[in-house]
Structure 1
Amino acid sequence: VLASTRRDQAAARKFFTAALTHGRRPVEITTDKAPVYPRGLDELLPEACRVDAARENNRIEADHSRLKARLRPMRGLKRLRSAQTISAGHALVQNIRRGHYELTIDTDPHLRLAAAFTELATAI
């Protein structure tokens, strides 16, 4: 997750550089049609296949709907740091629910979040 005041080349490069430090290098990248992505991706991942066709990123945008639903009653966020913190926390919870971490991999999907926080609390 990266919150930025501008959606420019520097922000795109910062996001992709940070994202590439986690896990494997992707073979395929799905983005929207923002004009800043192709150049940044060609520099950082020339071997990856880019997909930016119409409606290909609907799953990604639909994923944002839960975050937007939580923010709507709050009338948005006033500061960039707040947006970054809330978005990163929301992404962490969503990734735990989906089983992207080894934290609760053997747990029933409906109980993953509770098990993860119990495990984290005992570790702390």
Structure 2
Amino acid sequence: MAGRSGKAGFRVLAYISVGFAAVGVVLPLLPTTPFVLLAAFFASKGSPAFASWIEEHPSFGPAIRDWRRNRVIPLKAKVLACSMMMLSWGLLVVMGAAGAILAVSGIFMAGVASYLLTRPSY
């Protein structure tokens, strides 16, 4: 029974990750690629059919395959993700967000950018 609940948990996490990735497509605050990679990981543990769908998806599939084979992130994805994070943070500043929000979001975005920029590109 524990195996079933574990698979269901991974499946739920995969769907949540894909949901965040979809939101990240329209909201620059959320980077899409890390959530797609998370979804692929969780789906591989909980739903082989969903994992196949993600891996064969025309938009998401190539990034997943590149990551799994070579641990590389496309330069275009890095530039887009970092640009959107900078734009999002700039919008928060212009809109007068509280200092705590600016600090937390800035630290989070800087961490994501640092990770992305330290991975190999092609």
Question: Which TM bucket (shorter chain)?
Answer: under 0.3
In the superposition, the TM-score normalised over structure 2's length comes to 0.27
| Greater helix content | 2
In the superposition, the TM-score normalised over structure 1's length comes to 0.27
